[in-house]
Amino acid sequence: MLNKSTFKIFVDFDGTITVKDVGEEIFLHFGDPSKAKKIVKDWIDEKINSIQTWELLCKTVNNLSLEEFDSFIDSMCIQPTFLNFIDYCKLNNFQIWILSDGLDYYIKRILSKEKISYLNFYSNKLIFGKNNELIPFFPYTDEECKSCANCKRNHIIEHSSDDDFSVYIGDGYSDTCPAQFCDFIFAKNSLLKYCEKNRISYYPFKDFSDIIKKLEELKNKKHLRKRHQAVLKRKEVYMQG
């Protein structure tokens, strides 16, 4: 049986923990919807990188009311089964990190509202100018890894070892890079399509109850193997270091 302490779990925030993509919803609501959609499409089409995407999106917001901004964020909901998943991870001594290419301001507020602000997370940061203009800040970039402004890959490498089995849970385009470095992938939406297209093994999921069921199966296996391609990808990064 697998030692319970060896699972390290990395989970995306927008559209995975939350019901909606909060970052996208913010700019559709407070910015120019047509411009916001065009910016996101350009990012997906790799015409611009993630840092440029956030900078351009933030510039679409003018005359922001912070009170309305906070109220809008407070209206965003998390997946109901995520709280059960946290309890499951505590029970099994599985460590969790939230890895987001979104902005810390709304992540902190949502986690606090749900009384789970103790969870560790890495994301891009948001500061406000004198007139409440939105200014993104990127403390976790990587020159060689351009898929995310917040390099999720690096956080996975930093917080897992050769003795660990790493788990990635995600749904979007910013999850396609980091998922490749994990032994077990739980995917839906864009990440699922990416895994299908690139023949990367994964488990589909609708909500976190599906993940709990599969992890129960995995942790009780006598002989659990790491995903070979993930091992090779991690070795590449170690060699670069």
Q: Render pLDDT for 124-163 as a digit per residue (tens, 0 to 9).
A: 999 999 999 999 999 999 877 666 899 999 999 999 988 8
> What is the CB-side half-sphere exposure of residue 119 using CA atoms within 13 A?
34
The owner of tokens 């020159």 is 143
At residue 5, the pLDDT reads 43
In the chain, the amino acid numbered 214 is: K
Q: Is residue 61 part of a domain?
A: no
The pTM for the full model equals 0.94
Given a contact cutoff of 8 angstroms between Cβ atoms, the answer to whether 197 and 177 are in contact is: no
- Residue from 129, 17, 161, 153 nearest 64 by CA: 129
- Does 4 have pLDDT greater than 50? no
The whole domain housing 150 covers 4-19+78-123+144-240
Q: Which two tokens stand for residue 127?
A: 């500061």
- Does 2 have pLDDT greater than 50? no
The owner of tokens 């990416």 is 194
Q: Is residue 157 part of a domain?
A: yes
Q: Is residue 197 part of a domain?
A: yes
Q: Quote the number of domains for the chain.
A: 1
Phi, then psi, of 230 in degrees rounded to 5: -70, -40
At residue 240, the pLDDT reads 76
DSSP element (H, E) containing 115: none
Q: Is residue 39 part of a domain?
A: no
Q: Which two tokens stand for residue 105?
A: 């301001």
Q: Is residue 45 part of a domain?
A: no
Phi, then psi, of 7 in degrees rounded to 5: -85, 125
The enclosing domain of 229 has a CATH number of 3.40.50.1000
Given a contact cutoff of 8 angstroms between Cβ atoms, the answer to whether 123 and 35 are in contact is: no
Q: Is residue 97 part of a domain?
A: yes
Given a contact cutoff of 8 angstroms between Cβ atoms, the answer to whether 142 and 124 are in contact is: no
Q: Is residue 112 part of a domain?
A: yes
Q: Quick one: average pLDDT of 191-217?
A: 97
- The separation between CA 2 and the C-alpha centre of its own chain, rounded to angstroms, equals 26
Report the sign of the C-alpha dihedral through residues 18, 24, 29, 30, in that order: positive
What pLDDT band is residue 90 in, cutting at 50, 70 and 90? very high
Q: Is residue 168 part of a domain?
A: yes
